[in-house]
């Protein structure tokens, strides 16, 4: 394919990708499309002919980070080689009009469903004679296009998105407003992508969606995630298969058994419960109830799975008694990993209009109590691993010469790490290889050990 050129050289693209790992997959897909059309890539924004920001618009701090990144890259239109500033992703989809009006430096705006149109849109925008070329390509139509991706993760690890959008309509969340209802990717497309990534040398495959347990439910009936996991685990080269964001109402015994009994599926359940009090869950418009949550926790513990969750404290109307009920369940459940956040009103969501908004100082005080308790639990759970020998994926060597890695109990980016040393005379393992590590120490978040 003929390369797009400027003064005899291929056009170079630089990108900043913000937000979640689903957004990362979008960025990798966009880069893959541009690579197919002959563009080259640079990590130096001053050297890029085209600069892109894939934005996040989930919460206020993410919006601010995205705006800051847009203005930062816009400066290279004055100080660097940049001819075109492209803004994509959730913020572009949600605030199309405002961005075009308030940031004239943006040359091209692409929403979350338009990556297939990106190469042609860039070519039109670069054509100086085409003054009628549109600046915005944001619309709601969604079709999945299979393309090779340019991975931004280490070569041995990759995310695969199995669905787009969300139909849960939680009252605190803007994702359905931005990305629309949930649509599963065809199973054969997901498996083909995993197979291609495995051939490239990817060893750790992480399945993501806003709600992975919705997979297949848009065809009617229950989740087909267990079938997908079984087929994906059977692909040659898939050494670790991890699934994130499983909702309690569709996390049934079939799914738990597949995770527990398939050797190369990580024994790890990410179960974002947000709360446990049934009244609060109804106000959040969460699917399932406390009984579903307790059933999942019990099933995971019976099968020896590592448990992670996320919690919102200070949701409108949350009483001290309801918060205490949450603490009691979390103390009993002993989640290995837990992320907690104070409720933040999000524009255009039903929860932002609810009465009985909790004062910030009360929300923060509750968060502090929860995290103090969880730190004790996490330390206890980590210390219980001292003396065990665990299979560890080597990820890096730190500045002190210690090796870093993770076991099946640690998801990348969200959980702690395993720091370990080599026995005398041992050969230094390369990142992306698996080694056995004996755990010798533990703190609240990380573990330490020695390679065997």
Which residue ranges of the chain lie beneath pLDDT 50? 1-2, 6-7, 129
| Residue 141: predicted pLDDT | 61
Q: Strand 389-397 to strand 337-342: parallel, antiparallel, or no bridges (unpaired)?
A: unpaired
Work out whether strand 9-10 and strand 12-17 pair parallel, antiparallel, or are unpaired: unpaired
CB within 8 Å of 61: residues ≥ 6 apart = none
pLDDT digits (tens, 9 = 90+) for 237-287: 999 999 999 999 999 999 999 999 999 999 999 999 999 999 999 999 999
Q: Quick one: residue 110, left, alpha or beta (phi over 0 = left, psi -120 to 50 = alpha)?
A: beta
Q: Give the pLDDT of residue 2.
A: 43
- Classify residue 425 as left (phi > 0), alpha (psi -120 to 50) or beta: left
What is the spatial distance between Cα 71 and Cα 52, in angstroms, rounded to a whole number?
11
**Tokens matching residue 185:** 């990717």
Alpha carbon distance 245, 159 (integer Å): 13
Q: Which helix (H) or strand (E) holds 302?
A: helix 290-302
- Asked whether 420 and 449 are in contact (CB, 8 A), the reply is yes
Length of the chain: 452
Backbone angles phi, psi at 346, to 5 degrees: -110, 135
Q: Kindly state the helix (H) or strand (E) to which residue 308 belongs, with its residue range.
A: strand 306-313
Q: Which long-range contacts (CB under 8 A, 24 or more apart) does 281-286 make?
A: 283/171, 283/315, 283/316, 283/317, 283/351, 283/354, 284/170, 284/171, 284/172, 284/312, 284/315, 284/351, 285/168, 285/169, 285/170, 285/171, 285/350, 286/168, 286/170
- Can you give the pLDDT at residue 59? 79
- Supply the pTM of this predicted model: 0.92
389-446 pLDDT tens trace? 999 999 998 777 789 999 999 999 999 999 999 998 888 999 999 999 999 999 999 9
Answer for the pair 177, 351: CB distance below 8 angstroms, yes or no.
no
- For 357, phi then psi, to 5°, come to -65, 135
Quote the CA–CA distance of 184 and 204 in Å, as a whole number. Answer: 22
Strand partners, 394: 405
Listed in sequence order, the residues at least 6 apart from 386 whose beta carbon sits closer than 8 Å to its beta carbon are: 439, 440, 441, 442
Secondary structure (3-state) at 394: strand
Output the pLDDT for position 1.
Answer: 40
Please state, in angstroms and as integers, the Cα–Cα distance from residue 433 to each residue in 157, 240, 321, 437, following that order.
11, 12, 49, 12
């Amino acid at each position: 394919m003929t390369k797009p050129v400027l003064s005899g050289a291929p056009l170079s693209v630089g990108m900043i990708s913000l937000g979640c790992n689903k957004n990362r997959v979008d960025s990798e897909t966009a880069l893959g499309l541009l690579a197919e059309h002959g563009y080259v890539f640079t990590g130096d924004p001053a050297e890029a002919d085209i600069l892109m920001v894939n934005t996040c618009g989930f919460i206020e701090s993410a919006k601010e980070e995205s705006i800051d990144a847009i203005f930062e890259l816009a400066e290279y239109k004055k100080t660097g080689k940049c001819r075109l500033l492209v803004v994509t992703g959730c913020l572009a989809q949600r605030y199309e009009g405002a961005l075009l009006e308030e940031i004239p430096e943006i040359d091209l705006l692409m929403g979350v469903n338009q990556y297939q149109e990106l190469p042609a849109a860039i070519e039109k925008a670069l054509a100086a004679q085409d003054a009628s070329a549109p600046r915005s390509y944001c619309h709601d139509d969604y079709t999945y296009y299979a393309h090779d991706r340019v991975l931004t993760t280490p070569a041995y690890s990759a995310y695969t998105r199995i669905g787009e959008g969300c139909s849960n309509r939680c009252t605190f969340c803007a994702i359905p407003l931005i990305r629309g209802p949930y649509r599963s990717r065809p199973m054969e497309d997901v498996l083909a992508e995993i197979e291609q990534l495995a051939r490239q040398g990817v060893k750790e495959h992480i399945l993501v969606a806003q709600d992975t347990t919705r997979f297949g439910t848009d065809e009617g009936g229950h989740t087909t995630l267990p079938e997908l996991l079984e087929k994906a685990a059977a692909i040659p080269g898939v050494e670790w298969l991890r699934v994130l964001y499983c909702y309690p109402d569709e996390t049934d015994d079939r799914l738990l058994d597949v995770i527990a009994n398939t050797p190369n599926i990580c024994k790890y359940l990410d179960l974002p419960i947000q709360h446990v009090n049934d009244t609060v869950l109804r106000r959040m418009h969460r699917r399932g109830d406390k009984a579903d949550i307790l059933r999942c926790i019990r099933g995971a513990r019976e099968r020896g799975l590592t448990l992670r969750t996320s919690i919102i404290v200070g949701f409108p109307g949350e009483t001290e008694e309801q918060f205490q009920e949450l603490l009691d369940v979390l103390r009993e459940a002993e989640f290995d990993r837990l992320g907690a956040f104070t409720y933040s009103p999000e524009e255009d969501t039903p929860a932002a209009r609810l009465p009985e908004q909790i004062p910030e100082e009360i929300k923060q005080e509750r968060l502090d109590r929860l995290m103090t308790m969880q730190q004790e639990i996490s330390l206890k759970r980590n210390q219980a691993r001292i003396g065990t020998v665990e299979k560890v994926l080597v990820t890096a060597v730190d500045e002190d010469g210690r090796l870093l890695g993770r076991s099946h109990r640690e998801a990348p980016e969200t959980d702690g790490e395993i720091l370990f040393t080599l026995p005398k005379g041992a050969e230094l393992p390369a990142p992306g290889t698996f080694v056995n590590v004996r755990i010798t120490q533990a703190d609240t978040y990380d573990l330490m050990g020695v390679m065997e």
